[in-house]
Amino acid sequence: MSTELKQKTTKKEGFLSHPAVKEFTFSAKRFLKNPLSIIGLTIILIFALIAIFAPVLAPPEDPYDPFKIPHDGWKTAPSPPSPEHPLGTMEQQYDILYGIIWGTRSAFKIGFFIVMANLFIGIILGSLAGYFGGWFDEIIMRITDMFYALPFLVMAMALVVAIGRGLQSIIIVMIILGWPTYTRMIRGEIMALRDKDFILAAKAGGAKSLRIIIQHILPNSIYSVLIVASMNIGTTVLTAAALSFLGLGSESGYADWGQMVSMCRDWIVGPPDNRLAYWYVVFTPGFVIAMFVLGWNLLGDAARDVFDPKMRRK
Amino acid sequence: MNEHILDIRRLKKYYPVKGGVFKKHIADVKAVDDLDLTIRKGECLGLVGESGCGKTTLGKTILRLHEATEGRIYYNQSAEEVDRIEGLLDSGDKTKIAEARQLLQQVDLTKMSGKDLLKLRRKIQIVFQDPSNSLNPRMLVKKIIAEPLYVQGVYSAREIEERVLNLLNTVGMAKEHMMRYPHEFSGGQRQRIAVARALATNPDFVLMDEPTSALDVSVQSQILNLLMQLQKDFSLTYLFVTHHLLVVKYISNRIAVMYLGKMVELGATAGIFKNPLHPYTKALLSAIPIPDPASERQRIILTGDVPNPINPPKGCRFHPRCSWAVDRCREEIPVLEEAEKEHFVACHRWKEIS
């Protein structure tokens, strides 16, 4: 049994001593030395935990439609925090705490889904355009120019209206409008690497284009793009919230931060004798959105310093 | 027996210059222009010339990293066969030219593609100038060396592993270096890794693209000695591109001197150093420093710059900078002629000036 154990431990050491793992632990250690990255990581982890344990933290009334915020009566004016509603309620007594908790899930969904889809499209189109150049590059780049020429928010609003309002439409539209940024970025990175000697060496060894892109170009160029993408998860959620705020999001009562701010548009300013009477209705979802964006930005910023091969070891 | 490993005939490599809104083709950079060169099996041919004269372009065209504009590079063909095909091409007879074209598909490496090209890649390899650029920074040394073997698709994983280890030993490195990244090594070690990669598929011919010029002087000689040892052990042929004349003197059997895309002189190393015939070669050799402060020597200092290869001078390309130039040099392009045995020069006046 002891020999078996010994074998196991050596195997584990073997894994830990693999240089790729060593590189990663080296980076991770540096990452954790930076206080800003720890703050960012903590914020995102808290949000992640909230999203994961949402059913425990705020049990839904209808398990099949958990994103519907329960409301307690039909009173129009929001009510301030109370033991039943720790963060208060919005108009028609929608519970703010419930909305925040389940809204975290919406935020992750929106952020990840849009950014992943954009990255996917961007990596494929950007690699092809950057590596092969020629007419394909020309077409893709002129299309991205067109997208850049149009104001993002106006285009997004027009398209959402055309598809039909709702959170899903916002996601679709932001994917349609978001990919050119990533495509351009990846294309630029790839063009900078395309004529490097190690690419030529791979060619001289007989490697095919696909292999060169996957084995040689992407590992050297993807990091900066991934880092921008991680920062964009926050901003994407912010933009989606802006669209929701403009009334293009889901129906009222849906647990989405942007939607919640939108619902409380009429209550930003209180009655003349007490202007700040309803501060909690806008402050709480707004604060949460800001923290979410901040978390991703700090995380991305710290990750850039550590994982970007051009920045590290300096 | 084939004594020529590469037979380069009338090779041209033009880079198009495009301008205007519609990217019209307005001119060509004539990097390599109508060049003939044979490389013999087992020799080390030094290729010298100043920056921008087309040395590296020539090398990369041989490697098929750039596509030749025109011309033929015969790989491993006998002199008779090459002459026969060239004869057919020059005959002016349509059917004969068609026949030659057919033959070229098999023997001309500028026309190979697919499987043939992949096989050729095994036999023709390259070592780049700067190993910090030529090794993928995110790949383990093991993977870097194994890549050409892997890409060929004819070796098993175990064979590859063994071969990588052997190669590392061959270039004077050890097993523990396999699992490291290139940035963990010194310049000399990195160049050793690059050499190991070039040797991975057992090539016949290795293009050395200034393999020592990015290294410390102390390491240069180590690498040079390693390269010479490897050449002997594996009976390799080198084309050694450099602008360091003493390196070339040390390692080469023959030297080819290029100027602005043309060959100006070609001959045995000793012959060229003892008796340079072309005025450009003379100027180059006179620029080698002599490690003796008391020695006095006449230096030939060239005036002006290398002319623009988009619009090279008419006639002899060297004439604007040549102190012996006469009217004939301005009109007529000199051809490479055999001045002494095995010593070729492209100059109208070599007899008068030597």
Tell me if B335 sits within 8 A of B346, measured CB to CB.
yes
| pLDDT the model gives residue A272 | 80
Tell me if A259 sits within 8 A of A244, measured CB to CB.
yes
User: What's the burial of B58, exposed, middle or buried (CB within 10 Å: 0-12/13-18/19+)?
Assistant: buried
Distance from CA of A314 to the nearest CA of B (A): 13
SS3 B125: strand
pLDDT class for B207, splitting at 50, 70, 90? very high
Contact B65 A23 (CB under 8 A): no
Calculate what percentage of chain A has a pLDDT beyond 70.
92
| pLDDT the model gives residue A46 | 94
Q: Does A201 touch chain B (CB under 8 A)?
A: yes
Token output for B5? 């490993």
User: What CA–CA distances, in Å, run from B77 to B60, B104, B329?
Assistant: 20, 11, 35
Contact A23 B181 (CB under 8 A): yes
Which residue shows structure tokens 């889809």?
Answer: A117
Long-range contacts of B169-178 (CB under 8 A, 24+ apart): B170/B196, B170/B199, B170/B230, B170/B233, B171/B195, B171/B196, B171/B199, B171/B226, B171/B230, B172/B226, B177/B141, B178/B140, B178/B141, B178/B142
pLDDT class for A84, splitting at 50, 70, 90? confident
Q: Does A206 touch chain B (CB under 8 A)?
A: yes
pLDDT class for B292, splitting at 50, 70, 90? confident
* Span B227-242, pLDDT tens digits: 999 999 999 999 999 8
- Examine the pLDDT at B47 and tell me if it is beyond 90: yes
Q: The dihedral of CA A191, A193, A195, A201: what is its sign?
A: negative
* Span B62-112, pLDDT tens digits: 999 888 998 899 988 888 888 888 888 888 788 888 888 888 888 888 888
Mean per-residue pLDDT, B187-216: 92
User: Of A28-37, B36-45, B278-287, which range is least confident?
Assistant: A28-37
**Phi and psi of B113, rounded to 5°?**
-155, 170
Statement: the pTM of the whole predicted model exceeds 0.80: yes
- Examine the pLDDT at B252 and tell me if it is beyond 90: yes
Non-local (6+) Cβ contacts of A113 within 8 A are A171, A175
Tell me if B334 sits within 8 A of B260, measured CB to CB.
no
Tell me if B119 sits within 8 A of B201, measured CB to CB.
no
Which A positions 118-177 lie with beta carbon below 8 A of chain B? none
Q: Does A204 touch chain B (CB under 8 A)?
A: yes
| pLDDT the model gives residue A2 | 46
* Span A164-178, pLDDT tens digits: 888 888 999 999 998
CA A240 to CA A242: how far, in whole Å? Answer: 5
| pLDDT the model gives residue B18 | 84
DSSP assignment of A126-145 equals HHHHHHH-HHHHHHHHHHHH
* Span B103-114, pLDDT tens digits: 888 888 888 888
* Span B303-319, pLDDT tens digits: 877 788 888 888 898 98
- Examine the pLDDT at B48 and tell me if it is beyond 70: yes
Contact A206 B121 (CB under 8 A): yes
Strand B262-268 relative to strand B343-345: parallel, antiparallel, unpaired? antiparallel
* Span B144-162, pLDDT tens digits: 999 999 998 888 889 999 9
Q: Which of B112, B151, B163 to mutate to test the interface with A (most CBs of A within 10 A)?
A: B151
- Examine the pLDDT at A11 and tell me if it is beyond 50: no
- Examine the pLDDT at A314 and tell me if it is beyond 60: no
A contacts of B129 (beta carbons < 8 Å): 197
Strand partners, B46: B240, B255
Nearest in space to B125 (alpha carbons), one of A69, A192, A206, A269: A206
Contact A204 B179 (CB under 8 A): no
Mean per-residue pLDDT, B221-231: 93
The Cα angle at residue B243 between residues B237 and B246, in degrees rounded to 5? 80
User: What's the burial of B127, exposed, middle or buried (CB within 10 Å: 0-12/13-18/19+)?
Assistant: buried
| pLDDT the model gives residue A311 | 55
CA B18 to CA A138: how far, in whole Å? Answer: 15
Q: Nearest by CB to B133, from A19, A197, A216: name it.
A: A197
Contact B126 A211 (CB under 8 A): no
Contact B138 A220 (CB under 8 A): yes
Chain B contacts to A (CB-CB under 8 A):
60, 63-65, 117-118, 121-122, 124-126, 128-130, 133-140, 147-148, 151-152, 179-181, 183, 194, 197, 200-201
CA B63 to CA B117: how far, in whole Å? Answer: 10
Contact B122 A206 (CB under 8 A): yes
Mean per-residue pLDDT, A249-261: 81
Contact A205 B134 (CB under 8 A): no
Mean per-residue pLDDT, A177-195: 90
User: What CA–CA distances, in Å, run from A153 to A106, A234, B292?
Assistant: 20, 17, 75
| pLDDT the model gives residue B299 | 78
| pLDDT the model gives residue A10 | 45
Mean per-residue pLDDT, B137-142: 89
DSSP class of residue B127 equals E
Tell me if A286 sits within 8 A of A279, measured CB to CB.
no
Distance from CA of B214 to the nearest CA of A (A): 13
Nearest in space to A296 (alpha carbons), one of A244, A241, A245, A227: A227
Query: What mean pLDDT is reported for chain A?
Result: 83
Residue in A with minimal Cα distance to B144 = A202
User: What's the burial of A184, exposed, middle or buried (CB within 10 Å: 0-12/13-18/19+)?
Assistant: buried
Calculate what percentage of chain B has a pLDDT beyond 90.
38
- Examine the pLDDT at A3 and tell me if it is beyond 50: no
**Phi and psi of B29, rounded to 5°?**
-90, 115
Nearest in space to B84 (alpha carbons), one of A240, A256, B94, B74: B74
Q: HSE, CB side, 13 Å, CA atoms: give it for residue A182.
A: 29
pLDDT class for A6, splitting at 50, 70, 90? very low
Higher pLDDT, B20 or A222: A222
pLDDT class for A312, splitting at 50, 70, 90? low
Mean per-residue pLDDT, B163-186: 90
- Examine the pLDDT at A18 and tell me if it is beyond 50: yes
B contacts of A201 (beta carbons < 8 Å): 126, 128, 134-135, 194, 197
CA B354 to CA B352: how far, in whole Å? Answer: 6
Token output for B347? 């100059």
CA A79 to CA A87: how far, in whole Å? Answer: 9
Instruction: Find the DSSP H helices in chain B.
Output: 55-62, 79-90, 94-107, 114-123, 131-134, 141-152, 157-170, 187-199, 217-234, 245-251, 269-274, 279-286, 327-331, 350-353
Q: Nearest by CB to A205, from B60, B135, B148: name it.
A: B148
Mean per-residue pLDDT, A19-47: 84
Higher pLDDT, B295 or A208: A208
Contact B126 A309 (CB under 8 A): no
* Span A280-299, pLDDT tens digits: 888 888 899 999 999 999 98
A contacts of B65 (beta carbons < 8 Å): 200, 203-204
